[in-house]
Amino acid sequence: MPYFSRLKIAGHNRDRPATRMADYDDIADLIGLVCDAALEWQAWPAALNCLADFVGAAQVSLVTYDMSTHVVAGVAPRQDPDYMRSYVEYWAARNPLWPRSAFAPIGALITPEMFIRREDYARTDFVNEWASPQGMEAALGINVNLEGPASTVLAVYRPYSRGDFDDRERALFGALAPHLRRAAQLRLRLSGIERKEAGFVEALHRLHQGVLLADAGARIVFANRAAEEILAARDGLRCDGGVLRAEKPAETARLHRLIALCSGPEAALGAAGGPTLISRTPGRHPLSLLVIPPRMGTAPLFVAGAAIVFVTDPEREHPVREESLRWQFGLTPAEAAVAAAALRGDGLTARRQSWASRSRPHAPICARSSTRPTRAARPSSSA
């Protein structure tokens, strides 16, 4: 299911009376609710209820159905939860309208009669056992999103006994629907980004190495669990007032210079970071740090203005795979080799690899150029 993680049956009121055409002087309130709904799924019940009142509908829903998996999700604020549950578990796959209407043009008004004769539709088990008991016979809707076998439909309903939606109601729905369609599309896209970011953050938390994001002032924006453990120990590296610091002032100054270089305007021009060591209490190996600029498009968490700081405790066993580093952080093979060496705590090897890569056609971590070729055009290391 590409959009929703679960069904939302929000704002249901079992005793809500049938609504009639609302007479509003201004639709600003509805547009405001629609804007809220674009940002938060919790705001959709209020927006949909307002839409239903505007057009004199008894029921309203915004539902996604995937015809390949039969997964259903959405918002139906006026539907009885038991009926909605039965739709998810049984009736969605038997709805005679979905196969016919799912691929209608996005934004075009659709009614059941456009795809099946009313007489035939009214005789179906779907109508008689599920739609009619809820007063969901006459319908008016639009497709708001199509993605493969999944479609998202915004629709309003009322009983046949109250008549079809008339020309005025259809015109009003047609005028309001584009606002809801754009809000729904934006919310679907934001949901996808949020899930991607949540998945990426969880992947970072599972790393053995510490990963920090820090802005130009060395203020910590994000720390994975491994980094939090290292900072909590306050042995060599610590967080004071939200700022990343080392015990020794000279090491703090070098770390802050690297972070500033990788998070400031120079980062957009391919500025370099590099490895550094942070001393700990006598008898303990120093922490090995690697600071690099963010890569646009690598993940939504990595944004301009925040350097990536890898932290490795060489006294712990840290399996490091260069392929994983390339995939997770968008590094080149040379950059991944430098990062892997630094993360293993081998600062000398990291420096040698970084220095050696400077003479290669592809720009390394520690010596970028604003004329860096694209990855597709970059020559191989044997060139």
As separate numbers, helices (DSSP H) first and strands (DSSP E) second, the chain gives: 13, 11
Rounded Cα–Cα distance for residues 3 and 147 (Å) = 10
Sheet holding 287-292, edge to edge: 220-223, 210-214, 307-312, 287-292, 274-278
Average pLDDT, rounded, for the chain: 75
Structure token pair of residue 165: 């939606």
Rounded Cα–Cα distance for residues 315 and 287 (Å) = 9
pLDDT value at residue 358: 42
- Write the DSSP symbol of residue 105: P
Nearby residues of 186 by Cβ (< 8 Å), 6 or more positions away = 38
pLDDT value at residue 37: 67
Rounded Cα–Cα distance for residues 126 and 327 (Å) = 48
Rounded Cα–Cα distance for residues 307 and 259 (Å) = 6
Q: 205-229: string of b/e by CB count within 10 Å (b at 16+)? A: eebebbbbbbbbebbbeebbebbee
Q: Where in the chain is the domain with CATH 3.30.450.80?
A: 28-196
> How many residues comprise the chain?
383
Q: Among 6-15, 209-218, 365-374, which range has the highest average pLDDT? A: 209-218
The residue ranges of DSSP E strands in the chain, in sequence order, are 59-66, 71-75, 138-147, 150-158, 210-214, 220-223, 237-240, 243-246, 274-278, 287-292, 307-312
pLDDT digits (tens, 9 = 90+) for 76-101: 999 998 998 899 889 999 999 988 88
pLDDT value at residue 121: 95
Instruction: Say if pTM beats, i.e. exceeds, 0.85.
Output: no
Q: Among 28-42, 166-180, 300-314, which range has the highest average pLDDT? A: 166-180
Band of pLDDT at residue 70, cut at 50, 70 and 90: confident
State the average pLDDT over residues 135-142: 94
Over 90: is that where the pLDDT of 329 sits? Answer: no
pLDDT digits (tens, 9 = 90+) for 23-60: 445 466 666 677 766 667 677 888 888 889 889 999 99
pLDDT value at residue 100: 87
pLDDT value at residue 348: 46
State the average pLDDT over residues 3-22: 38
pLDDT value at residue 172: 86
Structure token pair of residue 81: 């939860």
Rounded Cα–Cα distance for residues 217 and 298 (Å) = 23
Rounded Cα–Cα distance for residues 38 and 154 (Å) = 14
Least Cα distance to 30 among 63, 4, 55, 62 occurs for 55
Band of pLDDT at residue 318, cut at 50, 70 and 90: low
Over 50: is that where the pLDDT of 344 sits? Answer: yes
Over 50: is that where the pLDDT of 14 sits? Answer: no
State the average pLDDT over residues 244-253: 95
Residues 213 and 298 sit within 8 Å (Cβ to Cβ): no
Band of pLDDT at residue 264, cut at 50, 70 and 90: low
Band of pLDDT at residue 364, cut at 50, 70 and 90: very low
Of 36-50, 159-173, 245-259, the least confident = 36-50
Over 80: is that where the pLDDT of 66 sits? Answer: yes
Percentage of the chain beyond pLDDT 70 is 64
Structure token pair of residue 147: 């993605």
State the average pLDDT over residues 326-333: 63
- CATH number for the domain running over 28-196: 3.30.450.80
State the average pLDDT over residues 255-284: 80
- Write the DSSP symbol of residue 117: -
